[in-house]
Structures are given as C-alpha cells and as structure tokens.
Structure 1
C-alpha cells in the first residue's frame, strides 16, 4: 500500500525541546514578579528553620556570635522537651491554647459564613459598603491600641463599665484581678476583631456564583432560605472546608497580642490567659532559657503540620474534591 501525499501540505515539524535555562528565560517576567516574595520566605522562614537545632541543645550564648554559640553549645537531646512537658504550666498552657482555639475555630467558622452570605444577599450597594467597612475596621487595629480601649472600659477607677455600675449603686469590679470574666472577654474580642476579615472570602465566593442557579431555584418556587441552603452553601462548601483545614493547623498557636497585651500582662490572670506564645515569651524574658523556648515553638509547628495532614486525610476520604492535597 502507498500513502497518499497531499500536494501543498507539509507534515508538522516536531517541537524543539527546551532546556531548563531556556524555560527560565522565557518566564523571566513572572519570575521577577515572584522574586521578592520568594527571597522574603527564604531569608525569614526557611533559613531560620535550621536554628531549630537549639531545641536539642543547652544553648549558651557567646560573645563570638550566634553561629559560634550554635555550633559550640552542648547537645542535650530531648531534655528541653522533657522539661517543658513536666513543668507545672504545661497542662494550663495546653488547655488554654487548645480550648480557646477550638472556640475561635467554631465561632469564626459559623459567623464568617453567616455574615458572608448575608452580605452577598444585600442589594443596596451603599449599605453593603457601610457594613463591610464597619466589620473590617477592627481587623486593622493593633492589639496594642485595643488594649487601651479595653482598659478604658474595664479600669477600676475610671472605666466606663465601673462608672455605670457605681451610678446604679453597685461596687466597682476589679476586672484585671478577676480571672472568671476573662475567657468571655477574650473570646468576644477575638471573634469581633476577625469576623470582618474572615467573612470576605465567603462573601467573594458567594458573589461569584452564577445567577442562573438562583433564577432556576426561583422558577421552582424556592424561598430565600431554600436558595441559600441548596445553591449558596454547596458552592461555598469547598472553600469552607479548605479554610477549616488550614485553621486546624494553627490550633496550637495563639494571638500573642490578644492574650498578653489585652490582659496587660497581669500575673493574676495567668491561669486563664497563658498560652504557648505567651509562655514562650515569658520564658525568654524571665529565665532566658532559649533551648526550652525553642522546643516549645518547634512542638507547635510539628503538631500543627501533623494536624493539617490528618484533617486533610479525613476530608480526602469523605469529600475528595474539597481536600487540600
């Protein structure tokens, strides 16, 4: 048999293989765009990871510099971890860190989705901007500033709340020496400050849903709640699961400003405000035990990474499309 050859047509030429450097040059513009962020991550995140070896040393700082101290400090293995686990503060720190973060995780998850959906249903553009701005504004205030606002409310002699209590014939409350009220104060402030920022992603996801889905639901006679239940929630579920997995990874970390600056470092409140981050800070400033502090920080990172892997494994077996990897 002979192949028919079409006159005037030529066979397609095989593509030339490009090497690594040619691909780099072809994508040089995009690489330059990501270069600042990449350099920042390498310098401030990846290189410092090597210093975690301090967690396994009895670190003794020398006048000859950090690197000299790092290579000449005696090796103690897991003694720093053992000392941290056996300390009287460990269970208090663990209870507070995990307990607060579990509450923050659930409440932020619920309220962020709720407000994100509510804002997506608003049709008044001006009113929507007012709500978004008012909800997002607290996120941009530092805890140092908010600490003074909270003190203006809770101060024993000049606080607004105590002035109201005294005006109604009651006795002023020394909030900064009353541990029982602080879990509620910290939870309220943590949710209030982050609710606007956390709801943005769900709002953007809900606004990106094709309007034809809502039109079809209305044609079938679906109420507003049924539209949210059958259209909005299924579309934002993958994003919600992704954010849940990432937040679970930070369950052993806490906001230092919230738990240290807001209570103004009060020693009386330490049983209800002490978390891993404040414990590490106090250990560095009072005992100067760098090895034990590094061990606590390393434990946070390792457990956080394990929690992300485990939670992603569970999601991948329940809802594979919503898994992170």
Structure 2
C-alpha cells in the first residue's frame, strides 16, 4: 500500500512539475534538481502531512474498542482541553519544562560553537585526505544509537568496575556512585550531546566554507592578515547567515528533547529523575503506563505550537536586525 501511494504521489508530482515548468522551459534543464526534490516531498507528505488529522487526538480520550484504529478514534469521547490540563497541572510540569528549555539552550549555544570551530579547523587542514579522515572520525558517533552510547557510559560510570572509578582509586580518591549523584549529570548530558552531534553539525559549515572564494583569503594574506585574523574577520562573518538560519530552526525545537539520550543514559536511575526528566520522557512514561493516546498528542501539539511561535518571533527579530539573514 505504501509503495502504491509513493508511485501515485510521484506521478502527480511529475505531472504538476511538468505543467508548471512547461511554461518556463526549465523542466529539462533542472530535471536533476526536481528528481532530488521529489523524495523529500514524498517523505513530507507521508510522514508529516498525512498524519495531520491525528492532531484531533489531543482533544479526545482515546480508547481501544476494536482493532480498527479509525473506529476507535471516532468512538472515543471528546474531552476538549482535558489532556492539556493534565499536562500543565502535573506537579512535574515546571521541572520538565525547565529541564527541556535549559538543556536545549545549552546544547544550541555550545553545539554552534563546537560545530563551527570543528568545521574551521578541518577546513584549514592542507591535506584533503587527512581532513576527510578527521571529518569521518568526528561524524561516526552520530550513527551510534543512544542505547549503545548508554552502555559505553555504563563502562565509564559503573561503581565497581567503571573506568572513571578505577582511575579515582589509583589516585587515592574515593569512588563516586555516578548513577546516584544528580549533580554530575547535567555536564554528562552536555558532553554526550556534543560528542554525538558536533561532527554531524559541522558538515553544513564545512560545505559552506568550501564555497568561499579563495581569492579573498589570498588578498587578506597579501595585506598581512594571519590565519587567526582571516578566521575572525573573513570566515566567521561569512558563516553568520548559515549560523543564523540553523539557530532559528534550533530555537523552534526548544521544547523538544532528545528522548533517546534522556531515556537511555541514566539507565533508569530514580535519583537522576530531577535532572533527566524532560517533556518527551515524561510523555513517554505516561503513555507507557496507560492507553490514552490523547495526552501525548496534546503534549506534541503544545510543543509544535510553541516551536512555531518561537520560530516566528526569532525570525522577526533577525529580520529587523539584518533582513538578509532571516528565514523568510
């Protein structure tokens, strides 16, 4: 069924593009670009736009009556804003919101600095083969699932056999029960996030730097600018538009957390709940303990609306400062 749908959508898309571009005569000359665009549009239609009616679940108390999902949906009662009240009236509402926002702000700022710095460093390596090796090495952690990362962390933080505690013992210090000490984990989450995503985040900046005109740097070198000055007064300013664009998009995800990281890394430790419980994890645990899909739908709708407002607000501010760097 999914394959048939993809074929139908692809056919419709091809017809529409053909008719639109027939007037401009650009279809044949841009056929490769249209072909690369089609899979992305099909993906968005299937996984982003077709599920849109599911938003209505946020206003229902979903119950399972039969195996037919649609029948269950229509037979479930309307509860208006009850699911939203349950979310905001929770005693953990303030904590999970605080954790989610503060972590995302930290990830966004440090991730931006780390990704740009790594991209600049790799771009300055004269040996292209060596630069590719470094780039691939930093990019590999992105492909590891958080469950694998969690077990790597367990090898580090285990009280009896962990690497860190063995080092502490050899230094004559007392071992630390890492999974019982919440004060360390905000730093652990930040380090894990940077380790996993910095390489992936740097790819866009590496590609952007590769497109810069080398004559600008040659002229700066003739004028006596060293590498540091070239970086600060040429590379970074030319990266600002891309940095601004990605920051605007990151702000839109301010209320969305990386469920895999916060679910896996603490290894289910109760004492770490105060620093690991975020909106997505709270919703996941609530859904796991019940069958009302209306609550996670309400939480997802809340996150989407807030993210949309944040993007509009941030883009408006950027447009007033520098219209050329705005998203729209």
Q: How much has 1:99 moved relative to structure 2?
A: 0.5
**Are the counterparts in 1 of residues 63 and 292 from structure 2 also a CA contact under 8 Å?**
no
| Equivalent-residue separation in structure 2 for 1:196 and 1:310 (angstroms) | 29
Query: Does 1:82 pair with 2:85?
Result: yes
Pick from 226, 229, 251 the counterpart of residue 226 of structure 1: 229
C-alpha deviation, 1:200, in angstroms: 1.5
Aligned length: 307
- 1:186 Cα deviation from its structure 2 partner: 0.5
The corresponding residue for 1:286 is 289
Q: Distance in 2 between matches of 1:25 and 1:218?
A: 46
- Tell me if 1:39 matches 2:30: no
Matches within 5 A, 1:49-198: 49-198=52-201
Task: Return the alpha-carbon distance in structure 2 between the equivalents of residues 246 and 89 of structure 1.
Answer: 27
Within 5 Å, which residues of 2 pair with 1:252-263?
A: 252-263=255-266
| Compared CA separation, residues 241 and 32, structure 1 to 2 (3 A) | closer
CA drift at 1:318: 0.6
Instruction: Give, in angstroms, the shift of residue 170 of structure 1.
Output: 3.3
Which string of whole-angstrom CA distances, capped at 9 and with x for unpartnered residues, describes residues 104-125 of structure 1? 0000111111111122122122
Change (3 A) 1:34 1:118: closer
Name the CA distance, whole Å, in 1 between partners of 2:144 and 2:56.
Answer: 36
CA separation of 1:236 and 1:36: change in aligned 2, threshold 3 A: closer
Structure 2: tracts of 5 or more residues without a match? 1-14
1:250 aligns with 2:253: yes
Report the equivalent of 1:239.
Answer: 242
The within-5 A match list for 1:294-309 is 294-309=297-312
Q: Please report how far the alpha carbon of residue 64 of structure 1 lies from its aligned counterpart in structure 2 after TM superposition.
A: 4.7
TM superposition score normalised by structure 1: 0.88
SS at 2:209 equivalent? helix
Q: Does the alignment pair 1:273 with 2:276?
A: yes
**Alpha-carbon shift at residue 128 of structure 1 (Å):** 1.5
Q: 1:138, CA displacement in angstroms?
A: 1.2
**Offset from partner CA, 1:195-254 (integer Å, 9 cap, x none):** 111111112211211111112212222222221222212211111111111111111111
Q: Distance in 1 between matches of 2:101 and 2:146?
A: 21
| C-alpha contact (below 8 Å) 2:62/2:291 kept by paired residues | no
If the length of structure 2 is used for normalisation, what is the TM-score?
Answer: 0.88
Distance 2:135 2:18 in 1: 47
Cα distance, 1:20 vs. partner? Answer: 6.4
Q: Could you say which structure has the larger radius of gyration? A: 1
Q: Secondary structure of 2:78's partner?
A: coil
Output the CA distance in 1 between the equivalents of 2:16 and 2:47: 27
Contact 2:63–2:291 at 8 Å: present in 1 too? no
Q: Tell me whether 222-231 or 249-258 shows the greater mean CA deviation.
A: 222-231
Aligned residue in 1 for 2:19: 23
